[in-house]
Structure 1
Amino acid sequence: MRKNRTPLTPDITPLIDIVFILLIFFIVSSVFKKEELALNLELPNASAKELEVEIKQLTVELSTNSLAYLGQKVSFENFDKQLSNSIEHGKPVIVRIDKDVQYERVVKVLDILQKYSFHNLSLVTKSE
């Protein structure tokens, strides 16, 4: 005597749940991304959390007419040379920029840092 067995079918309910959760995630994240592009670029004073300065971090200071690296004034050419000879490419860099500095000078410093693979940057602001 043989029993009639119904073929087993996998339960796809958990799969459908996961698909809907992923769909909701991508819809929500795409909405946030659109809002970021609509931000006004007129930046106020920052009220960010304080950053603890460690000895292991490198510091760059930029004013309207001078540049300092590790607490010593340097020219852009010397700054470039010092970074090219540096073995500290993975260390965090603290960048302090005066509010009156021209954007071109800021870009020049950031380009030099990117040239030598310094990607862990922190821009320091004044708290309110």
Structure 2
Amino acid sequence: MIGRPESGHSSWRTLTPDITPLLDIIFIVLVFLLLTANIPLQSLEVDLPKTDSEALGAMVETKTMTINMLAGSPAWALDGQEYADWQQFKPILVEHIDALKETDLVLASDKDVTVDSMLKLLAFLQEHKITATQILMDDE
């Protein structure tokens, strides 16, 4: 019969394999499989236009009005139509108030325009409850 030597336990330990690295690898693979096995694939449905004309039609439908604040005279412009001063320009804005509320409003200002002009226009827009505006700024 084969037996182990009685002299010491150190030689017995050298005969058995060390499975600690194998267990580490098994646990790492097990954790990886558990984390990746049940992840549901999420998708986002996108409705693409079937033709180019549909895409262009959607872009053309949005109307914009532009109010320009200019340095010097004329000082104001609405969609390219110029006005000399605020007293001349304000009645025109009042006439177009419904159109200003329905369209996208773009404010474009010259860099040399005074703050007073901007405040007059913003106060007018606030008074008439026009909130959705875009302000164009020039990069320097």
Superposition TM-score, scaled by structure 2 size: 0.47
Q: Distance in 1 between matches of 2:60 and 2:138?
A: 15
**In the superposition, relative to structure 1, how do residues 76 and 83 fare at CA in structure 2: closer, same or farther (>3 Å)?**
same
* Total equivalences in the alignment: 77
Whose Rg is larger? 2
Q: Distance in 2 between matches of 1:124 and 1:54?
A: 21
Structure 1 position 77 matched with structure 2 position 77: no
Q: CA deviation at 1:116?
A: 2.3
- The residue type equivalent to 1:76 in the other structure is W
List gaps (5 residues or longer) in structure 1: 1-51
Is the 1:90–1:120 contact (alpha carbons within 8 Å) kept by the matching residues of 2? no
Q: CA RMSD in A?
A: 2.5
Larger RCO (CA within 8 A; separation ≥ 6): 1
Shift >3 Å, 4+ stretches = 52-55
Deviation string 1:12-41 (CA, Å, 9 cap, x unpaired) is xxxxxxxxxxxxxxxxxxxxxxxxxxxxxx
Superposition TM-score, scaled by structure 1 size: 0.51
Q: Distance in 1 between matches of 2:60 and 2:106?
A: 8
Moved more, 76-85 or 103-112: 76-85
Corresponding residue for residue 70 of structure 2: 63
Relative to total residues, which structure has the larger helix share, 1 or 2? 2
